[in-house]
Each structure stands twice: as C-alpha cells, then as structure tokens.
Chains A and B, each alone.
Chain A
Amino acid sequence: MSKNLRITNSKFIDQTSRISFKFDGKTLYGFKGDTLASALLANDIHLVGRSFKYHRPRGIMACGPEEPNAIVQVGSDASITEPNTRATEIELYEGLEASSQNCWPSVNFDIGAVNNFFSPLIPAAFYYKTFMWPANFWKLYEYFIRKSAGLGKSPTEPDKDIYDHRYLHCDVLVVGGGISGIIAAKIAAKNNFNTLLIDDKNILGGTTLFQENECFKINNSYSNEWLKKEIETLKSLKNLTIKTRTSLAAYHSYNYLLARENLTDHLDINEKKDKIRQRLWKIRAKKVIISTGAMERPLIFNNNDRPGIILSSSIKRYIDYYGVKCGQRISLFTNNDSAYEAAISLNNSGVIVNSVVDIRDKTNSLIVKQAENLGISISCDGVCLTLISKTNKILEFYLSNETLHRSKFKKIIKGESINLELPLKKGQNISGHICQGHVDYVSKVKKIKLIDKSYLMEFSANTKQKKSLIEKASILINGVSLTISKITKNGFEVWIIPHTYKLTNLSKLKMNSLVNIEVDILSKYVKKYFNEK
C-alpha cells in the first residue's frame, strides 16, 4: 500500500491547486510547483525505470538535471511524445502523461530483469546482435529484442508545436541564479553592462531558496531571506534581463552560446495551444560567467543504484522545497557535513532520522553539533548496522542479505548476547585499531584455555584467510579489537584479558561457537597494493 509522503509546510508548493497526472497509466495527484519526480515521491513511487542492459530497478536519485535514473517518456500523442526526459526537470501540469522506459511489459514486472541474474554471462560490451545468429532465427528474436533494447520511443508523426529562435547580444552573460550568479549579475548591471541572467529553474535562487539554517547566514540574516532581498533589487535594475526556465545547451568559441527557453512546457494542456513552446536563444556575449554551483557526488557502495537511495542534497530539496519526505525512515551515509543539513531539515519537518553514518573520525563543524542529538549509529558485533527503533530496552536493526550472508547473524539464536559499541564521539581518544564494522568472514572457536586468569583462544582460518593475518597485528572478533599472538596450522590464537572477557560476549564462547571476523583494514590495503588474491 503506497503512502502519502507529503508534508504541509512548504512555501513553494501551492497546496490549494491540485493537479492530476498519469504515470504508467495510473492517475495520481500532485500540486502546482511540483516536478514529476517530487509528485511521484509524494505518492510513494520510487521505482520509475529499468537500467539499460541488466534491467535493474531504478528509482529517483536526484532532483535536477543531474538525475541519471528517472528518465521517462512524456506524452502519449504520436506527434508530441518525447523520450528521455528527466522526471526531475518536468514541471507538473494538468493532463501530464508520463511512462517509464526500458521495461516491458511493465516497470514492476520486467522480463528483461532476468538479465540481471545472467549478468556474469552478459559482460560489458555484450551486444544484442549476438542473437542475430543463426540468421533465420532473427525473425524469432527480433520482436523481443526490439522491445528490450533502446530507451524510449520517438514520435511517429510531425511535431505540431511552434518553435522560435532569436539572436541576443550582451556584455555579460551570467549562467545560474544562485548566490554567486545573483551577485555577479547585480555588480555587472550596476556598472552599466548590458547583462543577461539565465537559470534553468522556474525561480531564481538555487538551493539558497530554502536555506534557513543558523549555520548559513549572510550579513547576519538567514541566507534565504538575504536572497529574497537581493532578487528584489535585481528585478529593479535596468540593464538586466532575467530569463528563467532557460538552460544553456552549448558554449562555442568567441562566446557564442545556445540556450533553450521553455515557454509553455509547464502549462496545462489546454493553455499550451497556439503558443510558442520553446525558444532557442543564440547568444553572443562579451563575457560569460558560469555560476552553476556544484552537484553532489554519490558515494560508492554495493547496490547504490537501488530505488530508495537518494543524494542527501536532493533529500533536502524534496523536504524543504517540495514538502516531500523521501521515505518513512531515513538513514544518511556521508563523508562530509552536507548530510547533516538534510538530517536537520528532515527532523524539523517531523521525519524520523534513524542514523547518520559518517565515515570520518571527527569533525568540528557547527552543523554536526546541531544534528548530534538527532540520530545514532551503532557498531554491533563488529557489523555496522542501522538502528530502526528503540523501544522498551529493545533495539531493532535492519540486516541486509549481504550482512546476513557474510556474518554469523545468519546462525544467531534468540537470547544470545552480542557486543554493542557506540560510534566514536568527537573529542574521544582514539585507541585500539581501526574497525569499520564490515565483517570479512565467520570463524569457529577451536580451543579455549584458561592460563593465569586470562584466556587463550584459537580460531579457525583457512589458508586464504590466513594470508591477511600476521602475528602482533590487530583483529576484530565479534567487534572486539584483539591482538593475534600466534598463527597456527589451522588458524590463529589470541589472548583475552579478564577485563575484556568480563565485558564482552567472548565469555560465552564455547568450542565451535561462531564469531564474526574483521581483519585489519591495513592488511587489505597492502594486499590490494601487491595485487594478491
């Protein structure tokens, strides 16, 4: 059952004007100000397409022109249907019809997805042409391959819309209407330069439009309020032309640029009639200022292309600008401060943030302090897990298939005790060794010996696993950092001092108990460096 993921505090969405549209034949509702992507997310629709070759499920991942996944076909009419448009760039209008591409018969049940299971057999640069042999079989293959190859459908009848092109000359062209673009345009126009400012969105301001965090103040006022005033000043300047919904498409030599202005694409289907749809601007500028800002770089991890995994900057835009929460429970994974902005925005809008998993050791920024009380990430038995809920002294974690497969949690019994460790806090001394919480393999207890109040334990390791073990090196057993005292014939030995034994579940170990092993990260790097398997 899909849920309504809309919250009601956005200043940019007009919740009084409901818009109906169709996606994959289903009638859905959004509001004026929405993009197709934000409206889909508000309707709890993440799965919008399939990848080109393996037909892996693809969901909305970003919120602007950087969107790689949510590529849709717009319009059902044979003359105006348009393939390969980004759902994140389509402003919602009454009567919009869109559908997923590269899937058949439907995005949820896609026959081509079997390619994903056969992926070892379909390497990169595999061509569907392979199927052309033997020649008389092509008749059989063709129908199915034509269905599964290619992205989108091209129109089959002439375009009925009206298009226009115009020349424009200016002293200064400013591309992008964020903070830097607005200041650049203001200075240029005030100095009597004939200036043109263009932005691809329907309003100027970029991400600053919804930036109202204490940490981001300009001249002692919140950035969004400061920006509002600057835009007002800008509109009163005589030398300045502002074009919104205009995106730069090409930058040729001698400052010759091409830009496309969208004139009616956002209008209701009835209002579009007899109007110029798009205009191509051929711009010759004396100076060009590119102030397009930056895009967030996605983090690399297994299956990061799955639906539901969204850039944190986009999560922030969806919640602050469109008033759409990207999910019910959100966890953030980051290597910098920007995810905390998203966490704070979500929290301010009443969305539960499970955890912020930060790969950094420590950071001093104010925004992290601000977010510190929001979520928590716990290293559990050496496996980095995400906390889902915390009620009545019971912690609920989510374990993925990969985690289950690699760790001993597959064989865990009810009532068994595990080691809990909180993530390193800022300012705490770093001791022990670097543990990532990523289990490498599972070992068995081979020997337990009590010698002088300490315990000597032997764990199993095969020849391959032993390669990354050396005496006196650190190793993580059930999340407890220990030192390898000896490499044995079938594994390795460690000493466990009484303090460790008392505080951890190592005391519960018996012969042949299973434990999670994480080898020293340094050994992995060294191995990689020398190309060892």
Chain B
Amino acid sequence: MFLINCPYCGERDQSEFSAGGEAHILRPKQPTELSDDQWAEYLFMRKNIKGVQFERWNHTHGCRKWFNMVRDTSNDKIHAVYKMGEKPPVK
C-alpha cells in the first residue's frame, strides 16, 4: 500500500487513488492520416518497463485531479510527483 503525495492534497493512502497508465503519450495531430498499425501502436502499445516508469494517477477519492508520478516498478519506490503539464524531472 503506497503512501502517495498528491501535488494538491499531500500524503494520502493508495486506496484513494487510481492508476491511469503510462504518462506523456502524445495524441497524434492528424489521426485520419495514420495507418491502422500506427493507430494501434498509439492506442494499445505500452512500454511496461521494469524499472523507472512515468505514470499518470488520479486522486479519485480526494481532489479528483490527475497528476504524474515517477515510480520504479521493480521496488515500488516513488521518485517524484508533478502536476499535469509540468515538465518531468530529468531521468
């Protein structure tokens, strides 16, 4: 059970949050120009890294805001949290 430091509310229990998958995936500017393969790549393919990963989280049972998190999936260490639109910390 993580203790997550919401950028808006502070430290809260993991049970208040929900995970939203990999962060910083840009939506293609012209989806109509993409091939099926490229569209599928954008829609479904995720890195699923063992190690440091950038993720989106939502404070579902709190402020209900989305934010980003840098987490090491091998040991569940949370390295940083930052608001949407903010630059990710350097790797």
Contacts and interface: CB of A to CB of B under 8 A. Distances in A.
Interface of A: 252-256, 284
A255 to B, nearest CB: 8
A252 B2 CA distance: 9
Interface in B41-84: 76
Nearest to A284: B3
B76 A253 contact: yes
B1 interface: yes
B16 interface: no
B13 A284 contact: yes
A252 B76 CA distance: 11
Contacts of A255: 3
6 contacts: A253-B1, A253-B2, A254-B1, A254-B2, A254-B14, A256-B3
Contacts of A256: 1, 3, 13
Interface residues of B, number: 6
Interface of B: 1-3, 13-14, 76
B69 to A, nearest CB: 13
A256 B14 CA distance: 10
Contacts of B13: 256, 284
Nearest to B2: A254
Contacts of A253: 1-2, 76
A252 B14 CA distance: 12
| 8 cross-chain pairs, A with B, having the tightest CB-CB distances, nearest first | A256-B1, A254-B3, A252-B1, A254-B2, A253-B76, A254-B1, A253-B1, A253-B2
B54 to A, nearest CB: 20
A170 to B, nearest CB: 13
A32 B34 CA distance: 79
Nearest to A252: B1
Nearest to B75: A253
A255 B76 CA distance: 12
Nearest to A167: B13
Contacts of B3: 254-256, 284
A162 B13 CA distance: 26
B72 to A, nearest CB: 12
A70 B86 CA distance: 60
A433 B25 CA distance: 77
A254 B14 CA distance: 10
A281 to B, nearest CB: 14
Given A254-B2, A255-B3, A284-B3, 12 more contacts: A252-B1, A253-B1, A253-B2, A253-B76, A254-B1, A254-B3, A254-B14, A254-B76, A256-B1, A256-B3, A256-B13, A284-B13
A252 B3 CA distance: 11
A284 B1 CA distance: 10
Q: Which of A253, A254, A284 has the most B CB atoms < 10 Å from its CB?
A: A254
A334 to B, nearest CB: 42
A166 B73 CA distance: 29
A284 B16 CA distance: 15
